[in-house]
């Protein structure tokens, strides 16, 4: 292959300077400030029925335009999960419901001329609640006496093993080989339950949406979303109006991490605008974003891992109990990754596996999609179990992984029998050990001042898009003077996909990145794309860009051939234009663009749509060095080294920052972040004061490198990077804390209190 010019370069993000200099590019910066302000009254009870609701006084507050209750909304259930139709997530929502299912569930919607009037009206809505007993513990949910969704119009569109009359959102068992038989013949079986509580994406821009009626009588939605096309369908379902009546676009997005793969804020202003005809906006407070949104699924993962004395891992049995909370968004799908993206890491010698799960409803905040999407939870469990095994056998945890890890060319029975076309996990491990200094750092070091230093390790994988489902499209157009327009439906949420897709186009078209103007995403104007989630954009949409550019080049050659009075096969594309192979002339892109607008019938705009039957996993190794204070239980991360195989890094800068950002989120999840509830179902971490995300003092020093493989089905050999990077910190940190203290922590986050109490209990 020719040397790449643009792909693989650390190109600056196209919007970087605008963002750094604070230009007004986000939803609340660009919409009219005189629109209605929409607010939601939230349930103070975990489970209740609205007996009476009186909005008369609230409606009389000056400036209040409308107050809506469950009596005013369509009665067709829908899901807010941004997934391809038919969604695996059950249709269990109404815009407003008489039954309230968690503290924070929507009771009423207020629209007012300003925020003060809306706030005042919220206080004046009189509600008589019939408070019901709540089911908060996921262990008591399945087949328990309290039903979260007893309603008859609850629907599950896909065969995911759901039954609302059992509080069951999904269930499944799958296996390969006889796991019980192999386990019974293993020398050692590690058998533990690992718990990852819900945690929050905490993107800096909270959920927000603006809606207005356009001149054609359509609902125009500007939303901070990862999924413009899914938003269109979901709003149409919620409002019970035709999809043709809705137009959704996204501006710059202040972070998503999966949170904005669920329709969280959109339905409220959309309903107000549809009813009143007035422009409206809803901006979630930070508290709302923390208590009534779409956090990671709380999962309990039971791992039984069987091995022989020499460390050969022969069988893995995983059972996951996932708590989807009050509604089922992403419930049936996140759970699958807890097994399908943890067990295959040990394909090497695996004789049998079984993976089973139940996903249950409870009266807690509804969960959703968060970077890692279940893989993070499963990998914490399986990687911890492998570290426990290594300790039990007295083997080096790096060596035990090298002995059992999946290798290139292997078929992974636990990963839908996909084959690893590209896998540099072995190289990631050896490089990471070398960079980190594993041999020197793995031995526990007492620093002599009450502090102990220790190290931990973990591996991870993820996918690249949803195989056979995700669709990515790209439209590439030659415009005046020979520049190109690239239109996409994928959503750049800060990750830089607008730029890396432009890099791919520039590579194909042999031009500078500046010659590619990127547009996206808009449900009317962009070609269809499932949206930016499931680590799909680089791999799926990237391939669509590559193919669209190939087709465009052919079309440009055809036009040029007419101009040069020869056959299309007698010319070649040069980047600056098209020339005759016989040296008999050349036309510039500008000439072709000019020609394309005069007496031309060959399109200079091409759309290509791509979907992949496979989802090639990226792989990664992370190693952490930390220091435990034996007096306080405090844990300080000193060094984190990661080596990632994402196939070809399209933009090494952006891939690196993705990795660093994911690692720091993972450190937060491991050490500080976790959602807890009181006995009444109140969520306790309802501000950034209580929900502590890492600052730049909490992360130590990061070092990231790439060990590239070449994925033949991806654009330029690329796989994905966005999600995998959050998966190693939890197991690696739990490992290092065990090394320092002799105590395994099987529940996150591992707070100083837990570390100290663990050491005391051990004596």
Residues that bind other proteins (CB under 8 A): 10, 12-13, 15-26, 28-29, 33, 201-206, 252-257, 285-287, 493-496, 651, 653-654, 656-657, 659-665, 687-689, 693, 695-697, 699, 701-702
Q: How far is the CB of 68 from other proteins (least distance, A)?
A: 25
Smallest CA-to-CA distance from 376 within 667, 11, 627 is with 667
Give, in order, the Cα–Cα distances in Å from 39 to each of 36, 278, 287: 10, 15, 13
CB 464 within 8 A of CB 615: yes
> 615-646 b/e with 16+ CB inside 10 Å = b?
bbbbbbbbbbbbbbbbeebebbbebbbbbbbb
Q: How far is the CB of 667 from other proteins (least distance, A)?
A: 9
Give, in order, the Cα–Cα distances in Å from 219 to each of 216, 246, 279, 312, 338: 9, 5, 10, 59, 38
Distance CA 664, CA 651 (A): 20
Pick 343 or 683: Cβ nearer other proteins: 683
Smallest CA-to-CA distance from 348 within 470, 220, 459 is with 459
Pick 256 or 715: Cβ nearer other proteins: 256
Pick 256 or 758: Cβ nearer other proteins: 256
Torsional class of 486: left (φ above 0), alpha (ψ -120 to 50), beta (otherwise): beta
Q: Which secondary structure element, helix H or strand E, spans residue 504, and what is its range?
A: helix 497-509
Pick 290 or 478: Cβ nearer other proteins: 290
Q: What are phi and psi of 246, to 5 degrees?
A: -125, 140
Q: How far is the CB of 730 from other proteins (least distance, A)?
A: 16
What does the angle CA 698 – CA 703 – CA 709 come to, to the nearest 5 degrees? 135
- The β-bridge relationship of strands 701-706 and 208-213 is unpaired
CB 84 within 8 A of CB 470: yes
Distance CA 127, CA 56 (A): 12
Q: How far is the CB of 373 from other proteins (least distance, A)?
A: 17
Q: What's the per-residue H, E or C state across 561-589?
A: HHHHCCCHHHEEECCCEEEECCCCCEEEH
Q: In what order do the strands lie in the sheet with 48-54?
A: 99-100, 48-54, 126-131
Pick 457 or 699: Cβ nearer other proteins: 699
Q: How far is the CB of 85 from other proteins (least distance, A)?
A: 28
CB 325 within 8 A of CB 366: yes
Q: How far is the CB of 507 from other proteins (least distance, A)?
A: 18
Q: How far is the CB of 531 from other proteins (least distance, A)?
A: 16
CB 499 within 8 A of CB 506: no
Q: How far is the CB of 295 from other proteins (least distance, A)?
A: 14
Q: How far is the CB of 258 from other proteins (least distance, A)?
A: 12
Smallest CA-to-CA distance from 343 within 258, 459, 182 is with 459
End-to-end CA separation in angstroms for the chain? 62
Pick 38 or 236: Cβ nearer other proteins: 38
Q: How far is the CB of 255 from other proteins (least distance, A)?
A: 4
Please, which residues bridge with residue 456 across strands?
624
Q: How far is the CB of 249 from other proteins (least distance, A)?
A: 17
Pick 121 or 202: Cβ nearer other proteins: 202
Pick 14 or 314: Cβ nearer other proteins: 14
| Neighbouring C-alpha atoms within 13 Å toward the C-beta of 593 | 14
Q: How far is the CB of 660 from other proteins (least distance, A)?
A: 3
Pick 614 or 626: Cβ nearer other proteins: 626
Pick 190 or 642: Cβ nearer other proteins: 642
Q: Which secondary structure element, helix H or strand E, spans residue 247, and what is its range?
A: strand 246-249
Pick 48 or 725: Cβ nearer other proteins: 725
Q: How far is the CB of 416 from other proteins (least distance, A)?
A: 31
Pick 192 or 703: Cβ nearer other proteins: 703
Looking at the chain, the number of H-run helices and the number of E-run strands are 19, 29
Q: How far is the CB of 314 from other proteins (least distance, A)?
A: 37
> 194-212 b/e with 16+ CB inside 10 Å = b?
bbbbbbbbbbebbbbbbbb
Pick 366 or 665: Cβ nearer other proteins: 665
**What secondary structure does DSSP assign to 43-81, as a single string?**
-SSSSEEEEEEE-HHHHHSTTEEEEE-GGGS----B--B
Burial of 409 (0-12, 13-18, 19+ CB in 10 A): exposed
Q: How far is the CB of 513 from other proteins (least distance, A)?
A: 14
Kindly state the tokens that stand for 226: 């990862």
CB 565 within 8 A of CB 745: no
Distance CA 225, CA 235 (A): 13
CB 611 within 8 A of CB 479: no
Q: How far is the CB of 9 from other proteins (least distance, A)?
A: 12
State whether residue 287 is helix, strand or coil.
Answer: helix
Pick 11 or 423: Cβ nearer other proteins: 11
Pick 125 or 491: Cβ nearer other proteins: 491
Pick 535 or 615: Cβ nearer other proteins: 535
Pick 10 or 468: Cβ nearer other proteins: 10
Q: How far is the CB of 434 from other proteins (least distance, A)?
A: 20
């Amino acid at each position: 292959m020719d040397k790449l010019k643009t792909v693989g370069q650390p190109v600056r993000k196209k919007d970087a300077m605008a963002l750094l200099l604070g230009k007004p590019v986000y939803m609340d910066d660009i919409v009219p400030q005189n629109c209605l302000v929409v607010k939601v009254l939230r349930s103070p009870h975990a489970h209740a029925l609205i007996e009476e609701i009186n909005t008369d006084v609230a409606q009389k507050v000056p400036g209040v335009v409308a107050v809506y209750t469950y009596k005013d909304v369509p009665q067709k259930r829908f899901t807010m999960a941004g997934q391809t139709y038919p969604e695996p997530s059950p249709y269990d929502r109404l815009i407003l419901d008489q039954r309230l299912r968690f503290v924070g569930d929507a009771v009423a919607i207020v629209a007012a001329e300003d925020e003060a009037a809306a706030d005042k009206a919220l206080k004046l809505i009189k509600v008589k609640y019939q408070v019901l007993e709540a089911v908060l513990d996921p262990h008591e949910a399945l087949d328990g006496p309290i039903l979260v969704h007893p309603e008859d119009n609850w629907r599950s569109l896909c065969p995911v093993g759901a039954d609302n009359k059992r509080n069951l959102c999904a269930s499944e068992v799958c296996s390969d080989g006889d796991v019980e038989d192999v386990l019974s013949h293993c020398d050692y079986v590690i058998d533990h339950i690992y718990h990852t509580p819900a945690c929050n994406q905490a993107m800096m821009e909270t959920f927000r949406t603006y809606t207005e009626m356009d001149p054609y009588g359509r609902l125009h939605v500007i939303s901070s979303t990862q999924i413009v096309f899914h938003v269109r369908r979901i709003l149409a379902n919620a409002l019970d109006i035709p999809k043709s009546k809705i137009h959704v676009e996204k501006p710059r997005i202040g972070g998503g991490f999966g949170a904005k793969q669920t329709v969280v804020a959109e339905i409220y202003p959309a309903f107000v605008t549809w009813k009143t005809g007035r422009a409206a906006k809803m901006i979630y407070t930070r508290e709302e974003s923390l208590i009534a949104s779409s956090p990671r699924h709380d999962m309990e993962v039971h791992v039984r891992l069987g091995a022989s004395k020499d460390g050969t891992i022969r069988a893995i049995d995983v059972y996951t109990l996932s708590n989807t909370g009050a509604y089922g968004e992403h419930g049936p799908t996140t759970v699958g990754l807890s097994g399908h993206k943890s067990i295959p890491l040990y394909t090497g010698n695996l004789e049998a596996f079984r993976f089973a799960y139940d996903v249950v409803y409870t009266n807690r905040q509804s969960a959703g999609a968060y970077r890692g999407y279940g893989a993070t939870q499963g990998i914490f469990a399986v990687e911890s179990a492998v570290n426990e095994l290594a300790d039990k056998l007295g083997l080096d945890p790096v060596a035990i992984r090298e002995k059992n890890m999946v290798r290139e060319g292997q078929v992974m029975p636990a990963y839908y029998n996909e084959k690893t076309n590209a896998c540099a996990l072995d190289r990631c491990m050896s490089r990471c050990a070398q960079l980190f200094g594993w041999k020197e750092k793995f031995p526990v070091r007492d620093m002599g001042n009450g502090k102990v230093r220790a190290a931990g390790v973990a591996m991870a994988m993820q996918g690249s898009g949803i195989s056979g489902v995700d669709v990515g499209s790209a439209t590439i157009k030659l415009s005046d003077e020979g520049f190109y327009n690239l239109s996409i439906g994928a959503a750049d949420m800060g990750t830089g996909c607008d730029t890396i897709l432009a890099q791919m186009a520039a590579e194909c078209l042999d031009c500078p990145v500046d010659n590619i103007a990127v547009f996206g995403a808009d449900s009317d104007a962009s070609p269809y794309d499932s949206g930016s989630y499931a680590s799909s954009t680089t791999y799926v949409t990237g391939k669509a860009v590559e193919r669209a550019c190939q087709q465009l080049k052919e079309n440009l050659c055809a036009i040029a051939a007419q101009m040069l009075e020869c056959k299309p096969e007698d010319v070649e594309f040069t980047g600056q234009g098209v020339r005759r192979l016989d040296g008999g002339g050349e036309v510039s892109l500008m000439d072709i663009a000019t020609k394309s607008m005069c007496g031309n019938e060959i399109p200079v705009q091409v759309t290509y749509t791509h979907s992949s039957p496979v989802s090639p996993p990226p792989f990664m190794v992370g190693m952490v060095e930390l220091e435990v204070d034996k007096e306080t239980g405090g844990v300080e991360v000193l060094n984190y080294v990661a080596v990632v195989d994402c196939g070809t890094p399209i933009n090494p800068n952006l891939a690196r920052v993705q990795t660093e950002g994911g690692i720091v989120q993972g450190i937060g999840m491991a050490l500080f972040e976790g959602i807890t509830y009181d006995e009444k179902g109140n969520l306790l971490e309802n501000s950034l004061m209580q929900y502590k995300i890492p600052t730049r003092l909490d992360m130590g020093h990061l070092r990231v490198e790439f060990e590239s493989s070449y994925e033949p089905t991806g654009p330029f050999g690329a796989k994905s990077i966005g999600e995998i990077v959050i998966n190693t910190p939890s197991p690696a940190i739990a490992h290092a804390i065990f090394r320092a203290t002799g105590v395994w922590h099987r529940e996150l986050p591992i707070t100083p209190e837990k570390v100290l109490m663990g050491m005391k209990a051990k004596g």
